[in-house]
Structure 1
Amino acid sequence: MRVFTLLLRYKSFISFCVPLNPSRTTQNVRYFSVPAAKESFSSLQIKKRPVRKKPRLDEKQPGPYNVIAYATAAEYDLEKLAKGLKSQNLYTSSKVENNSDVLHALANYHVDTEPREIFFFREGSVVLWNVSDLESSNVINFLKPYEQDSYSEKLIQGESEMMNYQHQIEGKPSTLEQNGDFVIPFERNLLDKYTFSNSLALSVKLGIWEAMLDKYIDSIEYVTEDLKLGKKIKMTREEVLRKHGELFTLRHLINLSSDLLDTPDFYWDRDQYERLYVQTCSYFNINRRTKVMNEKLNHCIELVELLSTHLSDKHHIRLEWMIIVLIMVEVAFETIHYLERYLS
């Protein structure tokens, strides 16, 4: 606007300075018009790069929708949970391709055209598709009677994962966008949602274990400081043995009781979904996070074994000194008896 104002003032100045002869003024003087000034100013602007348009999704369906995953316990009793859902009559539950470790629930009452679906995994994770925050809280509270070794509310909320999903053009397979959005077909998408849910459930479960390991490391951090300063170890042999058990339990969960190190058997004869599962796990850095956790576990095990060896050595030294003292006491008594016999 300042440029346009200056141009208009410049035009007034030219009109004031030229002679009043109309014919001469018209012949020799070129006036600046406002449209011409705008055109001249716009030609000086830097041209912007053309914006890349995203692939066109299914415009008939609104979106995006939310999908959120929680890990609330070490394990769910899916058989009792299925009965509880049936008695509640709010969701219709079923298995996914005869997989006994997963329970799929579809809401009986629709809020909009997009269905609300939930996947319950036996290892203690739940993934909710197009479910509001209020309904998610109700589902988490509903799960408590069917949980084993429930986690704290702070840990559940802190390690949750929230993503978005949209619908794909009809006839195209599901994909994972670079920004992390799931793109799935509108119809016949149960296995697509299950595949995404499987990797999401694995990610939040790994997040819980990472938080547990960080808490464990904080609990033994003072020991390394005491060792560095040469102070007395303040842990007992029973406490060290308990710490050893916690480490091996966590190591067992990560490497033996989960699918962190290998692709589940479900995808062996389903190449399309296996590629989608591997791609999603790669997005969540499952392999790298698992490797880092195992390295941390190895360092913790070395530290605990060092403590165990140190405390065992101290215990052995204490026993040896007790034996030495007993021998000295026995020698003293024998000496006294000898002196009594000799003096008598």
Structure 2
Amino acid sequence: MSTTEHPHFELKARALLLGRYLDPRRLDQFEPLAINPLVVAVANGGHAVLLRSGAVVLFGVAPADEITFVAQLRAFVKEPLERTEHEDLLLTIDPKRTEGVERDRVVLLNTEIARLQVIADILGKSVLLAEQESRVASAFDRIEPLANRLRRHGRGNSDAKTLIRQIGEALAIQQEMVGRGEVGDKPEVIWERSDLERLYLNLEAEYEIRERQVALERKLALINDTAGTLLDLLQSKRSIRVEWYIVVLIVVEIALTLYDMFFHARISH
């Protein structure tokens, strides 16, 4: 892909979220063109950027080659997704135009690796957030009836295992978003290439990365609070039940003692 040979052309970028985690250190069968994030060449032309979040971003890769390359990656994907999230973006490569976002496409001056890394970072974060937004929506569907039951009847009606699973799901999403996805962080290439920061910020704003992250964090906090409150109520209810059991046992013991005393008193008379 050379701007001297093709002063003006279009290139398709396609991001796929394959699973929960992709370890680039195991991908030694591919020769790296750049690292952090890892960039490799794809057979028959094109490039792929591999991200720890489980996303791969392809540039200029034909559909048939995409299928072959993704099949190669499957062995390195942990917890593969049943439904693959994807995001497509059209790139216009033109050294004579101003670099930035234009309606349904992004204009780039050239296709140097650093620029592809910036594009891949944003697209990888976008597909990760899309998958997490779907998971959070499902979590809300499960937690909402429990909250409504608490509002209407003043009590919950769920088991501790279900509530703990909800809290665990919320924590897992947060860990993937902040840890592996590094959604709130700039890519390392920006620190080395400050001239690409404007492109990065424009893309970040276009895909509303920060806004989506904040919205997700608020929803996750609400799920945690709701599940935690219901769990506390459930534990309190169990504690009260245990206390009543103890009271009943004490009453029974007193009654048996009184009966025993009364029985022996009658025998002695």
Which of residues 64, 68, 90 in structure 2 aligns to 1:138? 68
| 1:94 lines up with 2:18 in the alignment | no
> 1:58 Cα shift?
8.8
Structure 2 Cα separation of the partners of residues 105 and 270 of structure 1: 20
2:12 is aligned to 66
Which of these residues, 65, 68, 79, is aligned with residue 149 of structure 1?
79
TM superposition shift of 1:239: 1.8
Shift of 1:65: 2.4
* Alpha-carbon distance in 2 for matches of 1:107, 1:244: 40
- Distance apart, 1:250 and its partner CA: 1.7
- Give distance in 2, aligned partners of 1:325 and 1:212: 46
Partner residue of 1:199 out of 83, 97, 122: 122
Q: Secondary structure at the match of 2:157?
A: coil
Aligned-residue offset at 1:95: 4.7
Tell me the CA shift for residue 119 of structure 1. Answer: 0.9
2:93 aligned partner? 167
* Distance (Å, rounded) in 1 between the aligned partners of 2:185 and 2:77: 26
- CA displacement 1:221-266 (0-9 Å, x = unmatched): 2212322331763311122122112212222333344322232344
Give the one of 184, 187, 191 matched to 2:108: 184
Q: Is the partner of 1:122 in helix, strand or coil? A: coil
For 1:151 and 1:342, how far apart are their aligned partners in 2? 76
**Aligned residue in 2 for 1:123:** 53
Q: Which amino acid aligns with 1:178?
A: E
For 1:79, the aligned partner's letter is R
Give the 3-state SS of the residue equivalent to 2:28 in structure 1. Answer: helix
Q: Which residue of 1 aligns with 2:168?
A: 245
Q: In the alignment, which residue of structure 1 is the partner of 2:195?
A: 272
2:185 to 262, 270, 281: 262
Cα RMSD (Å): 2.4
- Cα distance in 1 between the residues matched to 2:7 and 2:141: 48
1:221 aligned partner: 144
2:182 maps to a residue whose letter is: D
For 2:148 and 2:202, the matched residues in 1 are separated by 42
CA contact (8 A) 2:118 2:187 kept: no
Equivalent-residue separation in structure 2 for 1:207 and 1:295 (angstroms): 16
Distance in 2, Cα, partners of 1:193 & 1:149: 27
CA distance in 1, matches of 2:192, 2:32: 22
Cα 1:59–1:266 change in 2 (3 A) is closer
If the length of structure 2 is used for normalisation, what is the TM-score? 0.89
Where does the alignment leave 5 or more consecutive residues of structure 1 unmatched? 1-56, 86-92, 110-114
Give distance in 2, aligned partners of 1:95 and 1:237. 50
Find the partner of 1:303 among 226, 245, 262.
Answer: 226
- Among the aligned pairs, what percent are the same residue? 20
Specify the alignment match of 2:40 in structure 1.
Answer: 105
Distance 1:119 1:269, change over 3 A: closer
Q: Secondary structure at the match of 2:88?
A: strand
Name the CA shift for 1:63/1:269 in 2 (closer, same or farther; >3 Å).
Answer: closer
- Are residues 142 and 269 of structure 1, via their aligned partners in 2, closer, same or farther at CA, if it must alter by over 3 Å? closer
Query: Quick one: distance in 2 between partners of 1:325 and 1:259?
Result: 55
Q: Which has the larger radius of gyration?
A: 1
User: Which is further off, 73-82 or 115-124?
Assistant: 73-82
Partner letter of residue 106 of structure 1? A
Residues in 1 aligned to 2:216 and 2:129: alpha-carbon distance in whole angstroms: 9
What are the Cα deviations for residues 166-199 of structure 1, in whole angstroms up to 9, with x where unaligned?
A: 21126x77x2232142222446x11111111111
Offset of residue 331 of structure 1: 0.6
> What do residues 66-86 of structure 1 show as CA deviations (whole Å, max 9, x unaligned)?
111011111112233232x4x
CA contact (8 A) 2:93 2:110 kept: yes
Query: Which TM-score applies when normalising by structure 1?
Result: 0.71
- In the alignment, structure 2 segments of 5+ residues that lack a partner are none
Larger proportion of strand = 2
Q: Secondary structure at the match of 2:242?
A: helix
